[in-house]
Amino acid sequence: MFISDYFMNAVTSILNKNYLNKDDIIFLLKLNEEKGIGKLFCKADQIRQKYCGNDVHLRGIIELSNYCEQDCLYCGLRRGNKSLKRYRMSKNEILDTARRIYDAGLKTIVLQSGEDSWFSKADLSEIISSIKNEMDVAITLSLGERTADEYEEWRKAGADRYLLKHETANPRLYSMYHQRQKLTDRIKNLLQLKSLGYQVGSGNLIGLPHQTTEDIADDILICKELNVDMASFSPFIPSPNTPYENKNAADPHLVFKTIAVTRIVLKDVHLPVTTALSTLYPSAREKALKVGANVIMPNFTPEPYRNYYLIYPNKNRIESVPDEMISSVKKLVNSLGRNIGVTRGDSLKQNRISV
């Protein structure tokens, strides 16, 4: 047997295991084009088919404020970035945008912003309940770290899900990127959200300075441990006017591999193709949907605000007018023999409360 045959047998035997340990995950994340990556992608697609079927769920995003009280070294919204024009959408603008998402047939509205306590507990409760009273949709919040009391109130107002990425499961890197924040607090927030009955999403940034393949394996494993309902693995893209502006962007192929390995390890979880991945790699949606992803999150933030939500540059390159975008997403999904989900696309877990 040639050495390459031994190697391919090793790939096959790992992919046939019921339980993948950290070494297996690292091995798979290091596969390259000549070596076994096709088998990895094929297995991930089979598992996606088994647990998610052919539905691709669309979640419409509203970026309601780009003010942020945090100072994350990688993020263009960091408060230290004085050259970014800041905005907050009014309640009416948010409701109008929610209606546009609902009228486009989407069943999930994502309310996303920097960490902006200007939007009070009561303001957000009012926005959430107004949307829920008028529209039959799920609401996902993505507003960063807030108090347990706020999380509880918003859940009561009708919020269904919360997206709070852990960003990195390496506590040393976490403290380096975020300085004033600690990984333990982030995990505490995620556990609070779970105990309040939110469907919870977490995830990381791939390709940040000093990150290793081992760190990415830990990011996948922490999502497993937290039994998350959704996991967002997204590439780092250097953003001007941040301390990391001159660093290299992530390798998009590593992101595709991470999505595939996550599908194999976590199985019954929603995995989005992120806007950042599409910004970095033109046919990212098609590619990611073929290797384990089952969610697309179109951005509905209206002009001019969408031009100011600059977490990283060129973010709006792929995001044209929402209507055109939705029809091109539908065309793509159908061309892959898949269909747009007609349900809310809630958690795939049978028993999601247990951690």
- Nearer CB in complex with ligand 5AD: 40/169: 169
Does 223 sit near ligand 5AD (CB under 6 A)?
A: no
Does 137 sit near ligand 5AD (CB under 6 A)?
A: no
**Residue 154: exposure state from Cβ atoms within 10 A (0-12, 13-18, ≥19):** buried
Does 74 sit near ligand 5AD (CB under 6 A)?
A: yes
Task: Candidates 20-28, 124-132, 152-160, 234-242: pick the segment binding ligand 5AD (CB under 6 A).
Answer: 234-242
Distance, in Å, from the CA atom of 250 to the CA atom of 245, rounded to the nearest integer, reads: 13
Please give the single-letter amino acid code of residue 261. Answer: V
Distance, in Å, from the CA atom of 332 to the CA atom of 314, rounded to the nearest integer, reads: 22
Task: Candidates 5-13, 59-67, 230-238, 298-306: pick the segment binding ligand 5AD (CB under 6 A).
Answer: 230-238
Instruction: Return the beta strands (E) in 11-106 as ranges.
Output: 55-58, 60-65
Task: Candidates 124-132, 229-237, 251-259, 336-344: pick the segment binding ligand 5AD (CB under 6 A).
Answer: 229-237
By CB under 6 A, the residues from 252 to 291 that bind ligand 5AD are 276
- Nearer CB in complex with ligand 5AD: 24/274: 274
Nearest residue to the partner ligand 5AD, using Cβ: 75
Please give the single-letter amino acid code of residue 138. Answer: A
Asked if residues 112 and 62 have their Cβ atoms less than 8 Å apart, the reply is yes
- Nearer CB in complex with ligand 5AD: 170/234: 234
Sign of CA dihedral 100, 103, 104, 109: positive
Distance, in Å, from the CA atom of 351 to the CA atom of 228, rounded to the nearest integer, reads: 11
By CB under 6 A, the residues from 286 to 345 that bind ligand 5AD are 311-312
- Nearer CB in complex with ligand 5AD: 146/165: 165
Question: Least distance to ligand 5AD from the beta carbon of 274, Å?
Answer: 8
Question: Least distance to ligand 5AD from the beta carbon of 177, Å?
Answer: 10
Does 205 sit near ligand 5AD (CB under 6 A)?
A: yes
Does 162 sit near ligand 5AD (CB under 6 A)?
A: no
**Residue 32: exposure state from Cβ atoms within 10 A (0-12, 13-18, ≥19):** exposed
Question: Least distance to ligand 5AD from the beta carbon of 296, Å?
Answer: 17
How far is CA 8 from each of CA 3, 22, 34, 43, 105, rounded to the nearest angstrom?
A: 9, 19, 10, 14, 44
Structure tokens at 282: 């033109």
Distance, in Å, from the CA atom of 52 to the CA atom of 74, rounded to the nearest integer, reads: 33
| HEC secondary structure over 110-137 | EEEECCCCCCCHHHHHHHHHHHHHHCCC
- Per the DSSP assignment, residues forming a β-bridge with 110 are 61, 140
Question: Least distance to ligand 5AD from the beta carbon of 45, Å?
Answer: 25
Please give the single-letter amino acid code of residue 341. Answer: G
Task: Candidates 33-41, 124-132, 191-199, 232-240: pick the segment binding ligand 5AD (CB under 6 A).
Answer: 232-240
- Nearer CB in complex with ligand 5AD: 314/339: 314
* Closest to 290 (Cα-Cα) out of 111, 49, 105, 4: 49
Does 167 sit near ligand 5AD (CB under 6 A)?
A: yes
Does 64 sit near ligand 5AD (CB under 6 A)?
A: no
- Nearer CB in complex with ligand 5AD: 205/340: 205
By CB under 6 A, the residues from 77 to 136 that bind ligand 5AD are none
- Name the site residues for ligand 5AD (rule: CB under 6 A): 74-75, 165, 167, 205, 234, 236-237, 239, 276, 311-312
